[in-house]
Structure 1
Amino acid sequence: MKQITQRSKCPVSFSLDFLGDKWSLLIIRDIMVYDKFTYGDFLQSDEKISTNILADRLAALEQNGFITRRVSAEKKNKIIYELTEKSADLVPIIMEYNIWGAKYNPDGEQALIEELKKDKQKMIEKYQDKIRRNLGALS
Structure 2
Amino acid sequence: MTEQPPPPGPGFGPPPPQYAPAPPAQPPYGYAPVPNGYAPVPPQPAPAPAGPEFLAVDKRNAVVVDASGVVFELSGLTAEFRWPEIRGVHYKASPDGKALMVAVVHVDGRFYECVVEARPRARLQEWFPQLAWVLGHYRPMG
Interval of TM-score (by shorter of Structure 1 and Structure 2): under 0.3
Higher helix share: 1
| Length-normalised TM-score, structure 1 | 0.28
Q: Which has the larger Rg?
A: 2
Q: Which has the higher contact order (CA 8 A, sep 6+)?
A: 1
